[in-house]
């Protein structure tokens, strides 16, 4: 992965870390944030899961960003992933809200200290 980073190649989150038989599990996807943060700044890890992924699959402007006309799929976590990427790597501990197409699907904000 480090050679990909140094070559300035674009790759989306979930494309570089796989479980057995090449199947990516939710656990592996969450862990990928922490692994990638070892060789990339946190902002680049987040971008690869959002705007870079959108561009690579041809959905730029519709997914991967918070903007008018976009789908409004949003994860809210307790903490600042730019300071500690582990808040994305541990959704069981840090995930407080999930919005899909602008609608709240999961809301644990009452558990936030």
pLDDT of residue 36: 85
Asked if 98 contacts 68 with a C-beta cutoff of 8 angstroms, the reply is no
The pTM (predicted TM-score) of the whole model is: 0.71
Please say if the pLDDT value at position 12 is more than 50: yes
Question: Is residue 100 within a helix (H) or strand (E), and if so which, with residue range?
Answer: strand 95-100
Please say if the pLDDT value at position 79 is more than 60: yes
pLDDT of residue 18: 46
Better-predicted residue by pLDDT, 74 or 15: 74
Q: Render 64-102 in DSSP notation, one character per residue.
A: SS--TTS---EEEESS-TTT-THHHH-HHHHEEEEEETT
């Amino acid at each position: 992965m480090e050679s990909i980073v140094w070559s300035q190649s674009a790759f989306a989150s979930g494309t570089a870390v796989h479980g057995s038989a090449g199947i990516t599990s939710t656990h592996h996807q969450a862990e990928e944030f922490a692994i990638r943060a070892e060789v990339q700044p946190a902002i680049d890890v987040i971008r690869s899961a959002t705007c870079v992924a959108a561009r690579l699959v041809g959905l730029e402007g519709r997914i991967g960003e918070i903007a008018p006309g976009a789908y409004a799929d949003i994860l809210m976590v307790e903490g600042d992933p730019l300071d500690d990427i582990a808040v994305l790597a541990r959704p069981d501990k840090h995930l407080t809200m999930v919005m899909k197409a602008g609608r709240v699907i999961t809301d644990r904000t009452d558990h936030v200290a």
